[in-house]
Amino acid sequence: MPVSLDKLLVVGISSRALFDLEVEEAIFRTQGLAAYQQHQLQNENQILKPGAAFALVRALLKLNRLTADQRLVEVVIMSRNSSETSMRIFNAIQHYELDITRAVLSGGASLAPYLHAFNVSLFLSLHEDDVQAAINSDTAAALLYQMPTAQSAQHANEELDQIRIAFDGDAVIFSDESERIFQTMGIEAFERHERENAMKPLPEGPFARLLIALSFIQNNFKNPDGRAAPIRTALVTARSSPAHERVIRTLRAWNVTIDETFFMGGVAKSDVLAAFKPHMFFDDQPGHCDHAATHVQTGRVPLKRQENKIEGC
């Protein structure tokens, strides 16, 4: 019988998001594919440093060690590398003892067609075209920001008791329907619309299914010694009263519990995020992401649009 990934939380991650490949990326961009391939082969046994999503991936994989009878999370390397240049990636995975056994090595082709083949719930990358293509194919995806070097190293090595993930609301957990009203018609029209539709659940955004999956794991995790659940979530939204009610009622309708909720009302999110200490924060607004990325690991969620041609390798 073939193995099924249908009941797992599957995270697709690019090699550059998992490990620090900025030097190699610069070689590829400035010197070309042949120079990149030669560099990777010559440095095959040089262990790569942790990258932007390393801490989150390691924490998620830890869930599998907390359950005796089932796997909860599967991580799939999804890279535009070829098999010839991928040994360095696998050597690093083995060095850090990451429980990753599956990979997509597309040799420069688009990764988007393989997201559904592996039932990917979340795709993380530093390549904007790949992230946009994932969003266009209705997969939750984020373009990761690089943290300052010293802060990134500390974050990667920090062992937190819980996996902590923070989400923006509109255009991330929820659709961008209300956000578009705010952007085009202003705050008064937005608040009036939310009051009039307070009893109507918000449509799902690109990360709704991921949040629901995380909530399911939280609610069904058996922890006999009374310790806190291994996942903790936060909603950090620019909304404030009276736009709060529709959010609360929507989460009730989805049967989802958010552990911590912050209605910021336009106040900068960075200090709250620094206090919450998430492994990852997802937001759609570049300005919010720019500020947050100096404090916590951040991923920007692009809006869905017509898919662009993917170039490079």
**Residues carrying an active site annotation:** 168
For residue 104, give the H/E element and its range. Answer: strand 102-105
- The CA-CA-CA angle for residues 164, 288, 260, to 5°, reads 35
Does residue 80 contact residue 103 with C-beta atoms inside 8 Å?
no
Amino acid at 118: F
Helices first, then strands: H and E counts in the chain: 13, 10
297: nearest Cα among 124, 129, 127: 124
CA distance 109 to 86: 15
Alpha carbon distances (Å) from 135 to 105, 142, 185, 308: 20, 8, 26, 12
Residue where the block lists tokens 């620094």: 274
Alpha carbon distances (Å) from 218 to 138, 202, 214: 24, 23, 6
CA distance 224 to 58: 23
- What residues does 74 pair with on adjacent strands? 10
CA distance 237 to 247: 10
Contact residues for 245 (Cβ-Cβ < 8 A; gap 6+)? 194, 195, 198
